[in-house]
């Protein structure tokens, strides 16, 4: 594995196996033990050098938007006070904030009740598949369950057969 590690605190790309971020000194080992490995997906290394960071960079003044392809609809996602969020279908069964994709045909597209967890770090957004039957894909690449992956602006996140295009948009850009 030669993946670079993106700093969850400032978004800087660091060499593989770095412990402290070279820019802000953030201790990435603590985060890795808590959230498992924070690796830049292999495919992002094919795009120009400054792009992985810029695409992955998700600071507090941006907000998350999904474009639900099958429904041709934009969904604005607010993390509010909790930095963790579950995407799935049906009513929430715990206090964890939850986005219900049932109105977009989630059941027929094979979305699990608890499909993925999103974790908002200070500078990046992480996604983790929760051991689903039909799997989770970023730009067509299947995720390993229980591992953390960095989501980038422009990525397509597919839950089973339901495709969500990820945008990081200016927070003041209310629709």
CB of 93 to Zn ion, least distance (A): 36
CB of 38 to Zn ion, least distance (A): 11
Q: Which residues contact 137 (CB under 8 A, 6 or more apart)?
A: 143, 156, 157, 158
The smaller minimum CB distance to Zn ion, of residues 23 and 142, is found at: 23
The smaller minimum CB distance to Zn ion, of residues 30 and 93, is found at: 30
CB atoms < 10 A from the CB of 57, how many?
18
The smaller minimum CB distance to Zn ion, of residues 21 and 39, is found at: 21
Half-sphere exposure of 20 (CA within 13 A, CB side): 4
Cα-Cα-Cα-Cα dihedral sign, residues 157, 57, 55, 13: negative
Residues that bind Zn ion (CB under 5 A): 7, 9-10, 12, 21, 23-24, 26
CB of 171 to Zn ion, least distance (A): 22
């Amino acid at each position: 594995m030669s993946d670079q590690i993106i700093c969850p605190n400032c978004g800087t790309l660091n060499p593989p196996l770095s412990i402290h971020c070279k820019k802000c000194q953030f201790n990435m080992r603590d985060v890795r033990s808590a959230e498992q490995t924070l690796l830049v997906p292999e495919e992002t290394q094919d795009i120009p050098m400054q792009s992985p960071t810029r695409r992955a960079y998700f600071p507090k003044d941006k907000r998350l938007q999904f474009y639900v392809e099958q429904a041709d609809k934009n969904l604005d996602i607010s993390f509010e006070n909790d930095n963790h969020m579950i995407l799935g279908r049906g009513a929430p069964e715990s206090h964890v904030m939850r986005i219900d994709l049932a109105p977009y045909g989630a059941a027929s597209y094979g979305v699990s009740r608890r499909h993925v967890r999103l974790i908002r770090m200070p500078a990046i957004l992480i996604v983790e598949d929760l051991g689903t039957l039909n799997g989770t894909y970023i730009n067509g690449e299947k995720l390993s369950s229980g591992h953390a992956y960095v989501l980038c602006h422009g990525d397509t996140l597919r839950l089973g057969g339901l495709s969500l295009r990820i945008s990081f948009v200016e927070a003041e850009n209310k629709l």
